[in-house]
Structure 1
Amino acid sequence: MRQAIIFRGEDGFWVAECPSLPGCISQGETREEVVQNIREAIQLYIETLEEDGLDVPDELFETFVIAV
């Protein structure tokens, strides 16, 4: 299980990133699309690390929403 952050990009597309996997970022036109895309990106990222014999980073992040 991995945490992902999703937000609207400057171009109006949804952007998703997985903080525990540096550089694992995706985008989509809708929230549903970006969730599916980041899910696939996370799977491929981890598969690639494993194929290359590299350690898969632990999920160490916690997220909070802070209203100001």
Structure 2
Amino acid sequence: MENKYEIIIFWSNEDKSFIAEVPELPGCMADGKTYQEAISNAEIIISEWVETAKELGRPIPQPKGRLMYA
């Protein structure tokens, strides 16, 4: 499955790493020492999140594309 979910990336001073959050998939987050590593890890976690949801019979949100935040 091609990832079409929005990923928000930010630096965490507390964790000393980049955090990649996928707001459309509750609890779906990854981290990495570099920006690129956080993206790569997020892509893996998205696939695992979707696969787990399928196995448990839970709904999988359709990607909405760019989300707007205030």
- Runs of 4 or more consecutive aligned structure 1 residues displaced over 3 Å after TM superposition: 63-66
CA distance 1:30–1:44, change in 2 (3 Å): same
Match of 1:5 in 2: 8
- In the alignment, does 2:54 pair up with 1:40? no
How many residue pairs align between the two structures? Answer: 66
Match of 1:19 among 11, 16, 23: 23
Normalising by structure 1, what TM-score?
Answer: 0.84
Contact map agreement 1:19 1:61 (CA 8 A) in 2: no
Give % identity: 32
CA deviations on 1:15-56 (whole Å, 9 max, x unpaired) are 000000010011000011100000000000000001111110
The answer as to whether partners of 1:17 and 1:38 remain within 8 angstroms in 2 is yes
Q: Which protein has the larger Cα radius of gyration, Structure 1 or Structure 2?
A: 1
Tell me the TM-score normalized by structure 2. Answer: 0.82
Q: In the aligned structure 2, how far is the partner of 1:16 from the partner of 1:39? A: 10
